[in-house]
Amino acid sequence: MKCFYCDFTAFSGQNAAADRYVSAVLAEAALYPDVAVDTLYMGGGTPTELTAAQLTALLEGLARRFGPLSGLREVTVAASPQSAGTAKLDALAAAGVGRLSFGLQTASDRLLKSVGRNHTFADFSAVFRAARERGFSLNLDLMQGLPGQTFTDVVEDLDAVLALGPDHLSVYTLQVEDRTLLAKREVELDTDFAREAMDMTLDRLAQAGFRHYEVSNFALPGREALHNVGYWIDRPGLGLGCGASGFLGGVRYETDVN
């Protein structure tokens, strides 16, 4: 089940709007009484911008509709190191979430600042360890080809994240999207650098025991993202929320955000 693709940061500090959105998503889920799911991914934007109470209401509502989340094969929530405090981690664990995906991007404080992130790698490490203490399986996103990034930065990123001990890594080459900070700065990808960085990454992660099982994804044995694998084998998926896409009855669809 592909559940959310919405920029939850739009609701930061707007609890009334976020409450209405949670209610709307649950109402949308009720429109599909015959759809059963075995995996759940809640992402796109940052779900952890919701309060702990809103996350609980959302996840409990989904459990009423689709069954206890702890009984699903996999439940993943995308989380931000800036907003995934201990109260939210506790709420996610209590609701039956077993897997978190953190958008780290880089371990370099210099580069984090350059791409508009307000946290440091030390901040991230503290949240990562708090999540690990609560038993979550953990994915980290890394980005290569960032403006000003050097080959040494890439090596240090891998050193830093492997030292933390994630179960899964998603490594992406920079794509500059319209109307983003990097687009406004007219950033362009150095394709030669990106290719060399990825070649090194493939070797390094293989040596560390990670299997390259999908274009951008690497996992320790048995830690592959089941929900993500479903995309590649054309499993049906129910998309709920703004901008979500789904695949039901052989038809692909996307919810317009305008």
253 touches 239 (CB < 8 A): yes
At 4, the pLDDT band (50, 70, 90 cuts) reads very low
Instruction: Please give the average per-residue pLDDT across 39-60, as a whole number.
Output: 90
144 touches 107 (CB < 8 A): no
Could you give the C-alpha distances from 156 to 10, 151, 189, 191, 201, in angstroms and in order?
A: 33, 9, 20, 20, 11
Q: For position 165, what pLDDT does the model report?
A: 97
pTM for this prediction = 0.90
Residue 258 has pLDDT above 90, yes or no: no
Average pLDDT, the chain: 89
Structure tokens at 132: 């690990």
DSSP summary character for residue 258: -
pLDDT digits (tens, 9 = 90+) for 80-99: 998 999 999 999 999 999 99
pLDDT digits (tens, 9 = 90+) for 163-212: 999 999 999 998 777 666 666 777 778 899 999 999 999 999 999 999 99
Instruction: Please give the average per-residue pLDDT across 230-247, as a whole number.
Output: 86
Residue 75 has pLDDT above 60, yes or no: yes
Q: For position 253, what pLDDT does the model report?
A: 85
139 touches 169 (CB < 8 A): yes
How far is the C-alpha of 241 from the C-alpha of 140, rounded, in Å? 24
Angle at 52 between CA 48 and CA 56, to 5 degrees: 100
Q: Which residue from 35, 41, 38, 39 is spatially nearest to 6, judged by alpha carbons?
A: 41
Instruction: Please give the average per-residue pLDDT across 222-235, as a whole number.
Output: 89
Residue 9 has pLDDT above 50, yes or no: no
Which run of H or E residues covers position 104? strand 99-105
How far is the C-alpha of 115 from the C-alpha of 125, rounded, in Å? 19
Query: Following CA atoms 88, 146, 167, 127 in sequence, which dihedral angle do they give, to the nearest 10 degrees?
Result: -30
pLDDT digits (tens, 9 = 90+) for 119-172: 999 999 999 999 999 999 999 999 999 999 999 999 999 999 999 999 999 999
Q: For position 16, what pLDDT does the model report?
A: 86
What is the number of H-type helices and E-type strands within the chain? 9, 10
